[in-house]
Amino acid sequence: MIGEPTPSQYDWRFTFMGFPVRVTWLFWVITAALGYGIAMSANSSLSRILPAPGVGPLLLVWVGCVMVSVLIHELGHALAFRYFGIESHIVLYHMGGLAIPTAGFSFNRGGGRRRLSHIDQIIISLAGPFLQFASAILAAAVAYWMGIYVPSASQVGNLLEPLGIPNPWDQGSLTINNPWTHSIFNFYILVSIWWPLFNLLPVYPLDGGHVVQHTAAILTRSDGYRQAHIVGAVVGLLVAWWFFNNQNGINALLFLSLAMNNIQAMQGYGGPPRW
C-alpha cells in the first residue's frame, strides 16, 4: 500500500457519491506544470482558425479536465471496493490519485470479515482505468453528436482505419466553432485515454502492477509481490528508456523512479543480492 499524503489546511475537501474526496495543493501545481506545454500548443493551433482563448485560460481548462478525469478513475476503484462491501476515500495528490479503503477492509486475520480474493482485487484494480476509459468514449460520442472536431478523439479513431472502419471523428464532417467546448472535449479525452493506458503498464504500484501481483499470486500460490516487483523493475526501466529516447524527460524520470522502487522492494524480499 502506498502511504497516504499528509493532510494539510490547503487541501480541498468534498464528498462525491458518498466518498470523501481530498485534493492536495500539490495536485494543482503538478497538473498545471504538466499541462503548460499542451495548453501552449493548443492555443497556437486554435489561433490559426479562431480568436484563441490564451494559454492561461486554456491551462485552467486543462487542470479542470485532469481533475475530473482522475476523480472518475478513482471513483471506479472506490465503486468496486463498495461492491465488495468496503468503503473508501479518494485522494488526489502530486502523483495522481488514490482510493484508500477506510471501513470494512480486512484480510481476515481472525477478524472474521470477508477477505478479498485475488480476483476481487484484480477487478478493483481494473475498475479505475475502465471507468475512466469509458468516460472518454462517452465524451467522444457526445462531441461527435455535437459536431465538434476533437483531435485527441480523431487520433484514436485513426486506429480503426486498418480494420476497414472509417474514422468517425475525422475532421471531414466535424468543425471547431467554439474554442472552449472544443478544448474541454480535447483535453478531457486526451487525459482519459492516456492516463488509464499509463496506469495499466505492469509497473508496481500502478494498477497494471497490481494486476500482475494478483495474477502471479493465483498462478504461483504465493503473495505475488516478488514477481510483480521483477516485472515492474524490467518494464519500468524499458518504459523509462523509451521516454528518454522520445525526449520526454519527466515521464522517463517517473518510470525510472518506479523501477528503482521495485528494485529496492526486491532487495527487501531477499531477491537479488545488494549492489
In the bound state with Zn ion, the residue whose beta carbon lies nearer, of 128 and 179, is 128
Q: Does 207 bind Zn ion (CB under 5 A)?
A: yes
Closest distance of CB 176 from Zn ion, Å: 32
Closest distance of CB 74 from Zn ion, Å: 7
In the bound state with Zn ion, the residue whose beta carbon lies nearer, of 82 and 113, is 82
Closest distance of CB 129 from Zn ion, Å: 6
State which residue has the least CB distance to Zn ion.
128
DSSP of the chain: -PPPPPP-TT-EEEEETTEEEEE-HHHHHHHHHHHHHHHHHHHHHHTTTS----HHHHHHHHHHHHHHHHHHHHHHHHHHHHHTT-EEEEEEETTEEEEEEEES----SSS-SPPPPHHHHHHHHHHHHHHHHHHHHHHHHHHHHTTB--HHHHHHHGGGGGGT---TT-TTT-B---HHHHHHHHHHHHHHHHHHHHHTSS-TTSHHHHHHHHHHHHHHSS-SHHHHHHHHHHHHHHHHHHHHHTT-HHHHHHHHHHHHHHHHHHHHTT-SPP-
Q: Does 213 bind Zn ion (CB under 5 A)?
A: no
Q: Does 209 bind Zn ion (CB under 5 A)?
A: no
Q: Does 128 bind Zn ion (CB under 5 A)?
A: yes
* Total chain residues near Zn ion (CB under 5 A): 2
Q: Does 202 bind Zn ion (CB under 5 A)?
A: no
- Of the candidate spans 87-95, 120-128, 241-249, 254-262, the one that interacts with Zn ion by CB under 5 A turns out to be 120-128
Closest distance of CB 36 from Zn ion, Å: 25
| Residue numbers at the binding site for Zn ion (CB under 5 A) | 128, 207
